[in-house]
Structure 1
């Protein structure tokens, strides 16, 4: 039987487990994918703790972990057009994630370009696309300055690069340990920690927050125009109270293709810094949950990833 990494109830790392599961069966508008790589994101451990996104249905246990995958189509459901068995694809799973098989809806699945590796493709449905959506939402003119908080994580690294590709000056807030990484991306590094706003050089035209909480509140003070505040780390209510907004995700195949094209043309390097086999999924997740990830962490369930 296929294996999957799950959580058996809400809680901490102790509720995670690698178990055998039935192979999923694709329904109408879905494809079954043999997973070659799965991206690891903060939302994965947050969901385990009981966090629920707007519109989430009641969770059933065991619950699959993982929010973005790449792989090869094994089976197609009723009414599926544009995808056939053998296609290399990437997208956001409705079932599966850190697993050997996953179900994806065709509306938020895209074909993987041949020049894009499975590991890089697995970072795009959540991290890469969230970064792209947020930077686009700010709609800043070339030459403007955007400040990115949490710039050293998977979304942050992508956001810095996408902003630079669009001609923006970027200030990246991250720990001192990630200074070299931030500067290698062409951004000005500002050390995080108490009093960080005083260390920001010059004026800021837009903020892309990936941390939330006090950092979001502090970042807002740097802006004259609060409508240029976008967050993927804070709640919609917190963002609205500050005069900004939550990132509006564009969950379409076309958006995934746009982000993939950025990687292929050299405008975005997902910076996959570590890969882990499926039986070490917990270790991969701890790296992200404890804030030690530099760039992107990916789980590789099979030996066929590339």
Structure 2
């Protein structure tokens, strides 16, 4: 038996609870891990709230929270030959097992070996935050010298996107609440504040002719307010709002593969990317960690150490 943190129905924080469950058994192509660190992501409370039922609407309750984790392999399922018991790994939980747990299963194809020098806490930030940033920039494929607008630069994905973009020679403008200005500017981002003046006007002051690419991490009215700033709507991506297609843009297609995980891990090791972990919680503080992300005001990345 192992302990997990999940939810008994779709809803708000009131449906969350801890419960005991048998250790999951790895199926074909899966690995069972002892979880060492969990990345806390916006998608976690969205899944709990029932906002993306295409991903979890078919699964029985209780469901375990979370999609990203790092840990040590306890067992492997049939067909897994490139990861072995004892390996330190990190990756996505895509089979409904969840990651806010002492043990969980990951698809081997969506997991990678953790480099020895990479802390578990850093590795746990890669599956959602790190690879979203990589996928967005690779999809836009902007040439050096181009201008990129990141809508919602203050969170973990936004900060990693900014770091990767700067390493590719892009000029980066980012939007966010004024409390996130210092963090963004420390990364070389020209900051446009939601709370101080008109965001569009602030961006135009930096890029009068508009921006070459736009990665949206917020969605909703915030996305609509800045969408017209991109000179070509085909260079508008959103990782937060499928309605971006109504604006001529594209909902960010995700790769979720081992190669992407390994690429971001290498970028962390060589100093290109820092996950900007601002607080580490204990497993008993899972609800507190999730609540902090759910406010939308957290800067950087939060992780849970198990």
Q: How high is the TM-score relative to the length of structure 2?
A: 0.95
Distance apart, 1:257 and its partner CA: 0.5
Unaligned runs of 5+ in 2: none
Question: What are the equivalent positions in structure 2 for 1:62-141 lying under 5 Å apart?
Answer: 62-93=62-93, 94=95, 95-141=97-143
SS of residue in 2 equivalent to 1:80: coil
In the alignment, the residues of structure 1 paired with residue 18 and residue 256 of structure 2 have an alpha-carbon distance, to the nearest angstrom, of 29
Q: Deviations over 1:63-94 (max 9, x none)?
A: 00011000000111111111111101000013
SS of residue in 1 equivalent to 2:110: strand
Question: What are the equivalent positions in structure 2 for 1:135-174 lying under 5 Å apart?
Answer: 135-174=137-176
In the alignment, the residues of structure 1 paired with residue 37 and residue 181 of structure 2 have an alpha-carbon distance, to the nearest angstrom, of 28
Distance apart, 1:274 and its partner CA: 0.6
The residue number in structure 2 matching 1:304 is none
SS of residue in 2 equivalent to 1:107: helix
Distance apart, 1:53 and its partner CA: 5.2
| 1:290 equivalent in alignment to 2:292 | no
| 1:197 equivalent in alignment to 2:200 | yes
Q: Deviations over 1:176-201 (max 9, x none)?
A: 11111001111111101472111112
In the alignment, the residues of structure 1 paired with residue 170 and residue 215 of structure 2 have an alpha-carbon distance, to the nearest angstrom, of 13
Tell me how many residue pairs correspond in the alignment. Answer: 299
2:50/2:57 contact within 8 Å kept: no
**Candidates 210, 232, 237, aligned match of 2:217:** 210
The residue number in structure 2 matching 1:8 is 8
**Candidates 240, 246, 256, aligned match of 1:251:** 256
The two structures, once aligned, show a CA RMSD in angstroms of: 1.2
SS of residue in 2 equivalent to 1:163: helix
In the alignment, the residues of structure 1 paired with residue 249 and residue 269 of structure 2 have an alpha-carbon distance, to the nearest angstrom, of 32
In the alignment, the residues of structure 2 paired with residue 55 and residue 299 of structure 1 have an alpha-carbon distance, to the nearest angstrom, of 23
The residue number in structure 1 matching 2:45 is 45
Q: Deviations over 1:244-299 (max 9, x none)?
A: 10111012111110111110111110011111111110000000001231100001
